Structure 1
Amino acid sequence: MDLDLAQVRAFVLAAEELHFGHAAEELSISQQALSKRIARLESVLGRRLLDRGGQGVRLTEAGRRFLEPARQALAAADRAVAAVLGTHRPLRIDVWGHLYAPMRTLALVAGGEPRPELGHGRDLPSVSTALLRGDIDAAFGRVHAPLPAGLRYRLVRLEPVDAVLSAGHPLARAAAIRPAQLRDSLLWAPGPLHRLDFLHRFADSFGIGARAEGANLGLEHFLADLAADPRRFSLLPADVPLPAGPAVRTVPLVEPTPLYAWSLLWRSGADHPLLDTLIGAFVREAERSRWLEYDPARDWLPESDPAGRLRSGPAPPTGGGPSPT
């Protein structure tokens, strides 16, 4: 049975969008043409793939079974065309954890040529979904359990975290702060705390019961809200540049020092030719800049981090996948 890839592509887009209008717009064809392509594919397969009814578009059981192999077939076709033409599309990378400025690290290893296409995901679950769908090739941010099946990662940086406090906070002028000293303070979170795993784990680990949430409207807005209450504090990587204006102070955390674990994440079986190159660049920069130094007697990692399994030395855990070159 020979499949028409245009029909397969029409089905995949309709299945992902669950909306014929959006899928047709993506393909620059009419909804009628899209519907005809899918109907012809269903006729060839002898199975109905999509139900179209009053409740919208839904995958049938046959459609659910067909979707992932169909995606793989389209990806293989795209690779075949690229091999003949000697061209490859850019590596597509999403970042998340925006308040902690992931681009500071990514730019150090991905700033050369050819430049990747960079995007932004809301959080780890949304980025994981994009990876599994094949919308992006890799992602960069903090990985924590549970990680969906079918994804792999490599730890690339452990970054020390400072306390950032209102200038009126009793500890704002301290040379250093132990996490336990913050128990009577108010942890200020840039969004729902149950979705901010690092801050949530920190508060639980060090007995910080008072917690409050604001809206994530960017670093400057977040710091202005934090500065408004002398009880408030939060956590930011030590070298994140703070904007001028908000009355806040940053103070190093010690005994232990919390570490924010940055990882590169990709889909099992991903074979974009630039993925190995990117992983290799991270490995070399981590070694050069000593990004993976960790001492369990001095540092703290959340138990939900795969990185939390480290006990000594700089060897990074990895979820497998391409080997760095």
Structure 2
Amino acid sequence: MDLDPAQLRAFLAVTEQHHFGRAAKELAITQQALSKRIARLEATLGERLLDRDGRGAVPTAAGERLIEPARAVLAACAAAVNAVRGSAGPLRLDVWGHLFAPLRTVGEVAVEPGAVEIGHGRDLPSVLAALLRGEIDAGFGRHHPLPDDRDRELAHRLVRLEPVDAVVGPDHPLADATSLTPADLRASQLLLPAALVRLEFLQRFAERFELTSLAVESNLGAEHFLAHLAASPTAVTLLPADVPLPAATPGLRTIPLVDPTPLYAWSLVWPERTPHPGIPALLHAFAETGRHRRWLEYHPERDWLPEAESAELRAAVS
């Protein structure tokens, strides 16, 4: 029995997105083409793999049993291509967290020309899904454990901790402050580019410091989001200290946060069992740049991290 990797990839995309429309968009194919691939796979195996309803799709018992072998098949296909070519080729790296400008950090790391190809993932779950399907070799952004434990086959390493500033519009009551504490923000609304449940760092910050939040009605990019912030006298958002603000949005104020200073954690993520040969060199490059730029400085009495990152750092030094 021969299995078609494209059908397996389609199946995995649906199990990860729990939705045919979102899976088709992620694979850049039509929903009809996606459904045909799933139907052919089910016909080949003689089993129904997905239960469909009006809200989405979930794996059947047979589908659950197929998930891990399907991932292994796609990883083996990628390894076979690399073996025939005699080289793994450039390391395919997707970044996410685009409002926080991840390419600033990647661009500061010295790698050989042509060694890394940069792509843009939508968010952490979509990048992890692409990693598990073998479509990319690594991801860069803020990593955190996912509820469905899909990242258990992936390795990650924290490479940068970046101080976070408060950003307000020119008419905000705190616009002239030279520094603020997180508690000072409680009289404001934390403006979000998406729903709070999709923004794990901001969600943890809001919970810890008891902030109310408000998401923009539609995410039309950084300039639109910051223009909305500039026009609101009661809103505040958080951005890493080095993020450049667009010149098209004048009047914004960036104010350092202290007592404590929140830190945004950037990590590299890659498949643990089948790492690209370029992963060690990239990790070394991050470590060397981080050592010179002091990217991993963390003082618990002065700084704040969500518990997952704080525990990771404590384990690393223990």
TM range (shorter): 0.7 to 0.9
Q: Of residues 3, 8, 13 in structure 2, which corresponds to 1:12? A: 8
Q: Deviations over 1:173-210 (max 9, x none)?
A: 1111111111111211111112112222222222223x
Q: Which residue of 2 aligns with 1:197?
A: 200
RMSD value, Cα = 3.5
Whether the aligned pair in 2 keeps the contact of 1:10 and 1:38 (CA below 8 Å) is no
Q: Secondary structure at the match of 2:161?
A: strand
Tell me the CA shift for residue 97 of structure 1: 0.9
Summarize the Cα distance change of 1:51–1:82 in structure 2 as closer, same or farther, 3 Å threshold: closer
Q: Of residues 28, 46, 49 in structure 2, which corresponds to 1:48? A: 46
Q: Deviations over 1:285-306 (max 9, x none)?
A: 1112110000111111122x33
Structure 1 gaps of 5+ residues are 318-325
One-letter code of the match for 1:168? Answer: D
Q: Which residue of 2 aligns with 1:127?
A: 127
Does 2:202 align with 1:206?
Answer: no
Matches of 2:6 and 2:214, distance apart in 1: 46
Q: Of residues 286, 289, 292 in structure 1, which corresponds to 2:290? A: 286
One-letter code of the match for 1:87? Answer: S
Whether the aligned pair in 2 keeps the contact of 1:95 and 1:121 (CA below 8 Å) is yes
Q: Which residue of 2 aligns with 1:250?
A: 254
Summarize the Cα distance change of 1:171–1:134 in structure 2 as closer, same or farther, 3 Å threshold: same
One-letter code of the match for 2:306? Answer: P
Q: Which residue of 2 aligns with 1:272?
A: 276
Matches of 1:232 and 1:62, distance apart in 2: 49
Tell me the CA shift for residue 144 of structure 1: 2.1
One-letter code of the match for 1:300? Answer: W
Q: Secondary structure at the match of 2:229?
A: helix
Tell me the CA shift for residue 122 of structure 1: 2.3
Q: Of residues 231, 234, 245 in structure 2, which corresponds to 1:228? A: 231
Whether the aligned pair in 1 keeps the contact of 2:94 and 2:118 (CA below 8 Å) is yes
Whether the aligned pair in 2 keeps the contact of 1:156 and 1:316 (CA below 8 Å) is no
Matches of 1:53 and 1:155, distance apart in 2: 38
Tell me the CA shift for residue 267 of structure 1: 2.2
Q: Which residue of 1 aligns with 2:191?
A: 188
Q: Which residue of 2 aligns with 1:322?
A: none
Whether the aligned pair in 1 keeps the contact of 2:188 and 2:234 (CA below 8 Å) is yes
Q: Secondary structure at the match of 1:109?
A: coil
Q: Which residue of 2 aligns with 1:240?
A: 243
Whether the aligned pair in 2 keeps the contact of 1:15 and 1:58 (CA below 8 Å) is no
Structure 2 gaps of 5+ residues are 15-19
Q: Percent identity?
A: 50
Normalising by structure 2, what TM-score? Answer: 0.79
Q: Which has the larger radius of gyration?
A: 1
Whether the aligned pair in 2 keeps the contact of 1:48 and 1:63 (CA below 8 Å) is no
Normalising by structure 1, what TM-score? Answer: 0.77
Number of aligned pairs?
A: 296
Whether the aligned pair in 2 keeps the contact of 1:15 and 1:50 (CA below 8 Å) is no
One-letter code of the match for 2:158? Answer: L
Q: Deviations over 1:214-235 (max 9, x none)?
A: 1322221111101111111111
Whether the aligned pair in 1 keeps the contact of 2:111 and 2:285 (CA below 8 Å) is no
One-letter code of the match for 2:303? Answer: D
Matches of 1:204 and 1:59, distance apart in 2: 33
One-letter code of the match for 2:82? Answer: A
Q: Secondary structure at the match of 1:287?
A: helix
Tell me the CA shift for residue 151 of structure 1: 2.1
Matches of 1:145 and 1:14, distance apart in 2: 24
Q: Secondary structure at the match of 1:261?
A: strand
Does 2:91 align with 1:91?
Answer: yes
Q: Which residue of 1 aligns with 2:17?
A: none
